[in-house]
Amino acid sequence: MKILVCISKTPDTTAKIAFTDNNTKFNEAGVQFIINPYDEWYALVRALELKETIGADLHLITVGGADCDPIIRKALALGGDEAFRVNADSADSYYIASQIAAHAKDKQYDIIFTGKETIDYNGSGIGGMVAELLELPYVSIAAKFDLNGTVATVNREIEGGEEVCEVSLPVVVSCQKGMAEARIPNMRGIMAARTKPLTVVEPVAADALTAVVSFELPPAKAGVKLISPDNVEELVKLLHEEAKVI
């Protein structure tokens, strides 16, 4: 059994967001970066659980520059066996998916896990594109993944309920909350990660189909208006005329 987990670098959720170059680039100055939470807490940890129960080989992949190395090393510290970094810098989902698919094409992975999205771009496109490029079945936003031989049972949330799917391996799955519980690297894992293989590969030729024209910050929050609890008419008027919620 071979599992590949896709890892991406994202800003910490407490980072102050700012842009440079006429609002076309994210300002990384002073920003702490982390493993994308959906990749770490759900995709990677579920893969680790499978590794522990069925003895799978667990590989990691990221697409990015050398600044991604600490991120992929942390993923190795959690329990990955081997990591690959495609040496390319792009925010285009198709380009990134093409690099992952090119790496996975001849590696005979049984399962490819991604997070359901990254917390900086929220695109949710990588998993589906990788599956299409590899001509594999795809199950999105999975909250539970069980394996019985070469058949996976995958639970995913839908509007008003839950859908249960059965799919034969190999398969690509994007993971969300519920898939697993977060883990913290221990000292043994951190020390072992230093010697685990991290292979840097050059990107294959692929088109970037989208480009960032500009970023915009959301408008500043308006001040709070305090209304006396006795003045119901004024409250209703403001909700109707200003907040426009009634």
CATH number for the domain harbouring residue 152 = 3.40.50.620
Are the CB atoms for 1 and 57 separated by under 8 Å?
Answer: yes
Q: Does residue 65 have a pLDDT over 90?
A: yes
Mention every residue, 6+ apart, whose C-beta is less than 8 A from residue 197. 82, 83
The answer to whether position 228 is within a domain reads no
Tell me the pLDDT tens digit for each residue of 158-190: 888 899 999 999 999 999 998 888 777 677 777
The answer to whether position 143 is within a domain reads yes
In the structure, what pLDDT confidence band is assigned to residue 215 with cuts at 50, 70 and 90?
confident
Treating both helix axes as pointing N-terminal to C-terminal, what angle do 93-104 and 126-134 enclose, rounded to 10 degrees? 40
Q: Identity (one letter) of the amino acid at 123?
A: G
The answer to whether position 114 is within a domain reads yes
Q: How many domains does the chain have?
A: 1
The answer to whether position 103 is within a domain reads yes
Q: Does residue 78 have a pLDDT over 70?
A: yes
Question: Which one, of 129, 124, 132, 103, lies nearest residue 176 by Cα?
Answer: 124
Q: What is the mean pLDDT of residues 55-60?
A: 94
Average pLDDT, the chain: 90
The pLDDT value recorded for residue 220 is 78
Domain that holds residue 30: 2-218
Tell me the pLDDT tens digit for each residue of 91-144: 899 999 999 999 999 999 999 999 999 988 888 899 999 999 999 999 999 999
The answer to whether position 177 is within a domain reads yes
The answer to whether position 244 is within a domain reads no
Q: What are phi and psi of 244, to 5 degrees?
A: 55, 45
Strand 138-148 relative to strand 151-158, pairing = antiparallel
The answer to whether position 81 is within a domain reads yes
Mention every residue, 6+ apart, whose C-beta is less than 8 A from residue 219. none
Q: What is the mean pLDDT of residues 50-63?
A: 94
Longest dimension (CA), the chain: 71
The answer to whether position 223 is within a domain reads no
